[in-house]
């Protein structure tokens, strides 16, 4: 037991903390509907919660945060909700650009951009360029993201490299280099809010050995204190990665 305990501690005797946390931010619509409000009110409140969690992560020892904002399946929602969400994303980027830069947050996006508006694509590219030199926290936002779609696009890139003769016998590392997350560390911990226990096509390749935490808390109610509690529990897990 002492050996296991030692493996769960960082130098100095502190419980191990995940370097990279990924979050499926679920429950915005239900949060609003439970209060008799339109679903978009919940999405706006959820965007405010993202700001709080982003600011809390560095002090909690988290260097990488990836959040699932809009999936490839979310296009099935009503036109009103989809357009409202796209507007929220645009306003979030516009309003947070100065704060991201000042607080040392590097912001990036994963997912296919072809279905997004030209304006949103310009805003995304702009904040990526503006924050490229920041190192305090790496924030990745998944918009129009689906794990199967990402793997399909990555496979096409890999096939192109093979056709050019750059690769003859592709490896796992070669495929990883073609993913949207190339250069990112895999998530140590994936959190899903709202009580659902599905992974919903989120980072299937990258999260193959991630720890998972499913919490009944709806995303607009998920506070930095909730995150800190989950991170403390993470330090008690014995991660063997297939070993004995």
Catalytic amino acids?
Answer: 26, 74
191 pairs with which residues across the strands? 23, 213
Cα→Cα distances 76→67, 103, 109, 117, 148, Å = 20, 36, 21, 17, 17
Q: Which residues are annotated as a binding site?
A: 26-31, 39, 43, 71-73, 75, 77, 192, 198-200, 211
- Cα(81)–Cα(64) distance, integer angstroms: 29
DSSP for 191-203, written as a single string? EE-TT----TTSS
Backbone angles phi, psi at 33, to 5 degrees: -65, -35
Residues 6+ apart with CB under 8 A from 87: none
Q: Which residues are annotated as a binding site for Mg(2+)?
A: 26, 211
H helices present in 57-146, as ranges? 79-102, 118-130
């Amino acid at each position: 037991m002492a050996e296991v305990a030692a493996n769960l501690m960082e130098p100095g005797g502190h419980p191990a903390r995940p370097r990279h946390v990924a979050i499926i931010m679920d429950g915005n619509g239900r949060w609003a509907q439970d209060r008799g409000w339109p679903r978009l009110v919940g999405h706006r409140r959820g965007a405010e919660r993202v700001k709080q969690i982003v600011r809390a992560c560095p002090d909690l020892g988290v260097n990488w945060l990836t959040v699932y904002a809009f999936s490839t399946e979310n296009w099935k929602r009503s036109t009103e909700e989809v357009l409202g969400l796209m507007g929220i994303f645009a306003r979030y980027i516009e309003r947070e650009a100065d704060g991201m830069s000042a607080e040392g947050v590097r912001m990036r996006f994963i997912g296919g951009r072809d279905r997004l508006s030209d304006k949103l694509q310009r805003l995304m590219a702009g904040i990526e360029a503006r924050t490229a030199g920041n190192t305090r926290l790496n924030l990745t936002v998944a918009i129009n993201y689906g794990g199967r779609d990402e793997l399909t696009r990555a496979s096409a890139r890999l096939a192109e490299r093979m056709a050019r003769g750059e690769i003859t016998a592709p490896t796992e590392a070669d495929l990883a280099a073609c993913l949207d997350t190339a250069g990112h560390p895999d998530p140590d911990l994936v959190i899903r809010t709202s009580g659902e226990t599905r992974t919903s096509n989120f980072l299937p390749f990258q999260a193959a050995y991630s720890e998972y935490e499913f919490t009944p808390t709806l995303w607009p109610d998920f506070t930095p204190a909730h995150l800190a509690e989950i991170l403390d529990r993470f330090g008690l897990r014995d991660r063997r990665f297939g070993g004995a």
